[in-house]
Structure 1
């Protein structure tokens, strides 16, 4: 792992120290209307206590970033994290090629108890193909850090509008990017980049550019549609074998 990667990503938005926070929460964002984003999922790792976002893509599957822990519990229908419902246990399947560096930062969490879909808990649409056109006007959301000292997280869901950069300015074909002082912070990893009502990306990591702006990187979901399809359609026995191998590997 290069020194540059270690400094800029700090385990993909997981860690933050005073004076080096990526953003002040969802910068220039606003508090979401309660339960207006019913696909949003609050995730907490039972070992590291790391907090992430995620999103419901089927009644029995949540999508998030692979770096969001190896022992996650998910909370559905959350607006205010000080009023959490009972957590739902999951079987995590991180992408097999993810090794804490750019790329493959995607994980599927199979809910042991499928969600009951209603007004406060519902799914979001995934891309249909790997090469479809994406709206440049997008939105990010999460329960991320509130200040540059990273000493507290937002208790309520926040959201902000962001604009996609052209793919040629992003670096890799499996990554989407936004740039500026608006975007996700510590605690927002794993949340969706929503463009035109479709979850097109997963909050992954950031770099600070020469101009002082921050470039947020998102896993490009459409590049992983075959893997997503394969995981979500495995038999229960196959799923158990996949998860068993992954749970013993620190990420």
Structure 2
């Protein structure tokens, strides 16, 4: 299973290599209305130009996947089209200490060195409550990843897809949500949110080929609320 995970992570990040930055879009999705998802964050390494997705959870914190960690990350807020990026904000990275490049604990917080100014194009999305982490079946996933599983299909705009969660059991780890579907996140969508009932319930972690489609795995945010609160409190400057 570790080998499958490693291969899949490489696939998710492949479109983030220098020169591949134009390959964006959820497989089977449609173009989002510009700035209709103002919590979405585009994340890029300023040197290698590798990219991931994330979402704003506080004026000074972005949530994403731990495997997106790079040395020179910047976040871009209020983005719809990646050819029109605003000034990037430098961050300090806090990946989960138990993440080991395999399923589980694939979560990271990015502390913005300049707090976000909230407005119509930049807003915060809510996280689940510790006393109510029930996940609705009808959810939404979005990102700037490839529109094809087998090869890249260029799109510079944010895309999204409605997904119906079928089976939350028999997954890799207790904090992983799995869903098998012909469509969903692909290369470059890592770190984006799984939104159910207007709440960020999951983080895009990885996908793999199955017999009748693709299995997508999301980190279950509710399993990490204590860790999230500790990181935010410790770095509340």
* TM-score of the aligned structures, taking structure 1 as reference length: 0.84
d(CA) in 1 for partners of 2:208 and 2:35?
Answer: 31
**Number of residue pairs the alignment of both structures matches:** 228
**Cα deviation per residue 1:22-56 (whole Å; 9 max; x = unaligned)?**
xx941221100010000000011124322111000
Q: What is the distance in 1 between the residues matched to 2:68 and 2:85?
A: 19
Computed over aligned residues only, the root mean square deviation of the Cα atoms, in angstroms, reads: 2.0
Q: What residue in structure 2 maps to residue 124 of structure 1?
A: 125
Q: What do residues 67-99 of structure 1 show as CA deviations (whole Å, max 9, x unaligned)?
A: 113221100000001011000011110001112
The whole-number CA distance in structure 2 between the counterparts of 1:47 and 1:104 is 26
| Residue pair 1:181, 1:214 contacting (<8 A) in 2 also | yes
What is the aligned partner in structure 2 of residue 226 from structure 1?
Answer: 226
Matches within 5 A, 1:74-223: 74-129=75-130, 132-148=133-149, 150-151=151-152, 153-209=154-210, 211-223=211-223
Q: Which residue of 1 aligns with 2:18?
A: none
Give structure 1 stretches of 5+ with no counterpart. 17-23, 238-251
Matched, 1:14 2:13: yes
Contact 2:103 2:173 in 1 (8 A): no
Q: Following superposition, which runs of at least 4 residues in structure 1 exceed 3 angstroms of deviation?
A: 146-153
Kindly tell me: are residues 130 and 101 of structure 1, through their superposed partners in 2, closer, same or farther at Cα, counting changes over 3 Å?
farther
The aligned counterpart of 1:31 is 31
Please, which runs of 5 or more residues in structure 2 have no aligned partner?
A: 16-23
Matches within 5 A, 1:57-72: 57-70=57-70, 71-72=72-73
Cα shift readout 1:131-189 (whole Å, capped 9, x = no counterpart): 52111100000111134554454210000001113322334320112211111111110
Q: 1:25 to 1:235 in 2, by over 3 A?
A: closer
Answer yes or no: is the 8 Å Cα contact 2:2–2:102 preserved in 1: no
Asked whether the 8 Å contact 1:12–1:67 carries over to 2, the reply is no
